[in-house]
Structure 1
Amino acid sequence: MSRPPLTALLTACLSVAITAAGLGYAWSLRAPDRAPANDDRVSPICGTRECEPVAEAAVGSDVVRVMVGDRISRIATEGASGTVMFELTIAEYGVTEDVGSLELECVDSPVAAVCLVQGQARGKRYAEALVRQDGLWSRALGGYQGDGGYVGLHDVNGDQVMDVVVVQRRCAEGVDCPKRVAEVYSLVADVANGEDRKLGCTAVVNAEAALPGWPDVRPAANQLRACPAAGS
């Protein structure tokens, strides 16, 4: 039997090589394998263990969660801008020791969304707030604490952004008494340019039930005045 011509052998070898190269190139362009659905999310860590969600609220298309853990607790915001984690700073006062006292209150508006987290420890209410403006969440300046049993949100000055209302006792040091006063704080005050974040206080009243709107304290702007000294 005669051998095939050399040119035919070369042509056949070249054809096989081209086919193999084409298959290799096609393989390199394939879509990456999709990870299993249960690998898509990793639970956040709070200290030495996974964070435990204890409160949740929807704010427009965003979701805000309060999560507790070992030594560290967090506030998480999830939405179009991604997931952002904030440390729950009021945990340092011991509020996470009584998880049942933790509360999350969120209010949206065209100007800014506000979320207030609060809890109870050692006879006081401790709170902190997050503010969303232009789609981005940030921590409001400072925290809040009151011994009058109430911290809440209300738009006192009419700027379409919630203010923080904190009730305080007004008693002589070391003395318990029924006198109460409500302090009001702005969450969007331009402190860098000299604006005071404390908008003022209500008049001191002789019983908590006399506070405007009690049990949801809602003072009007014209009910605010300079805050009295402690014990007055």
Structure 2
Amino acid sequence: MTRPPAAVLLVACLAVVTTVAGLAFAWSTRPGAPAATGVEPPLGELRCGAEACRTVVEQQVGPDSVALLVGPEVGRIRTSGASGPNVFELTVAASGAEITDRSLQCADAGVGVCLVRGEVESEVPGEVLGEVLVRRSGAWSRAQVPYVSSGGHLALHDVDRDAVADVVAVQRECPAGEDCPRRFVQVFSLVDGGEELGCTEVVDAPELVPGWPAVVPDAADLGPCGD
């Protein structure tokens, strides 16, 4: 069996981009909504929809703290510390992703990276949406590419060993709307704006994915996606 053409994966990602962008714009234009980034108000004054935000999980990333904050209608990502206070909209929450204490993974090297992920309801269980914050030169910014895993695993791992975490997504190779055990790994670099590093060969069961369930492919495992 061959891997799905890269164009198919690109179309899926573009659909998510359109949905996320629309939801983020709609929220940003609501009266009283805070800016996507900027000076953080005191936590007691920070609103997540109709209620004050509550912290779900927080991690230390070098000299900074990164926290996920949620409410009944919306979520936010708060950074504080040496980089200064900032608040970002939590776009995957707006797209229906479930945010839990396992939704945040950060890696700190020369470039700090935090991945926020959450499972969403879909025709086939296990679809995960993710977004990434990157700290360069002491300032946090949002990576513009949203990430999707159809195979139930989305995480950070420095696959190419360049001291910058990569995004590792497990994908199903199944007919549309159907579940099956076949899986492959798709890897994206955060160095060049979300460039695809490559994909592993398709295997016949999730447990055959390199490193499952941690999923830590080596660069030598990757080939062109869609071949």
TM-score by length of 1: 0.74
- Measure how far apart 1:100 and its partner are: 3.6
Give the corresponding residue for 2:154.
151
SS in 2 for 1:157: coil
User: Unmatched 5+ residue regions in structure 2?
Assistant: 1-40
| Cα 1:173/1:199, change in 2 over 3 Å | same
SS in 1 for 2:180: coil
- Measure how far apart 1:141 and its partner are: 2.0
Give the corresponding residue for 1:129.
132
Conserved? CA contact 2:134–2:143, under 8 Å: yes
CA distances 1:72-125 after superposition (whole Å, capped 9, x unpaired):
2100000123110010010122124xx44751111111x201111111111311
- Asked if 1:173 corresponds to 2:176, the answer is yes
Q: After the TM superposition, which parts of structure 1 deviate over 3 Å for at least 4 consecutive aligned residues? A: 99-102
Give the corresponding residue for 1:222.
220
- Measure how far apart 1:186 and its partner are: 0.9
CA distances 1:36-73 after superposition (whole Å, capped 9, x unpaired):
xxxx9452111222111101101112110000113221
TM-score by length of 2: 0.75
| Cα 1:101/1:179, change in 2 over 3 Å | farther
User: Unmatched 5+ residue regions in structure 1?
Assistant: 1-39
Distance 1:218 1:119 in 2: 20
Distance 2:151 2:43 in 1: 40
- Which entry has the higher C-alpha Rg, 1 or 2? 1
SS in 2 for 1:95: coil
Conserved? CA contact 1:179–1:206, under 8 Å: yes
The residue identity in structure 2 corresponding to 1:219 is P
| Cα 1:210/1:79, change in 2 over 3 Å | same
- Select the residue among 78, 81, 97 that pairs with 1:79: 81
- Measure how far apart 1:198 and its partner are: 1.0
The alignment-based identity, stated in percent, is 45
Conserved? CA contact 2:43–2:53, under 8 Å: no
1:103-142 correspondence to structure 2 within 5 Å: 103-109=103-109, 111-122=110-121, 123=125, 124-142=127-145
Give the corresponding residue for 2:9.
none
SS in 2 for 1:90: helix
Larger relative contact order (C-alpha < 8 A, sep ≥ 6)? Answer: 2
| Cα 1:159/1:125, change in 2 over 3 Å | same
Conserved? CA contact 1:102–1:117, under 8 Å: no
Distance 2:179 2:71 in 1: 35
- Measure how far apart 1:171 and its partner are: 0.9
Conserved? CA contact 1:151–1:167, under 8 Å: yes
Aligned residues: 182
1:178-193 correspondence to structure 2 within 5 Å: 178-189=181-192, 191=193
Conserved? CA contact 1:125–1:146, under 8 Å: yes
Conserved? CA contact 2:171–2:185, under 8 Å: yes
SS in 1 for 2:85: strand
Give the corresponding residue for 2:201.
203
| Cα 1:89/1:42, change in 2 over 3 Å | closer
Distance 1:117 1:147 in 2: 16
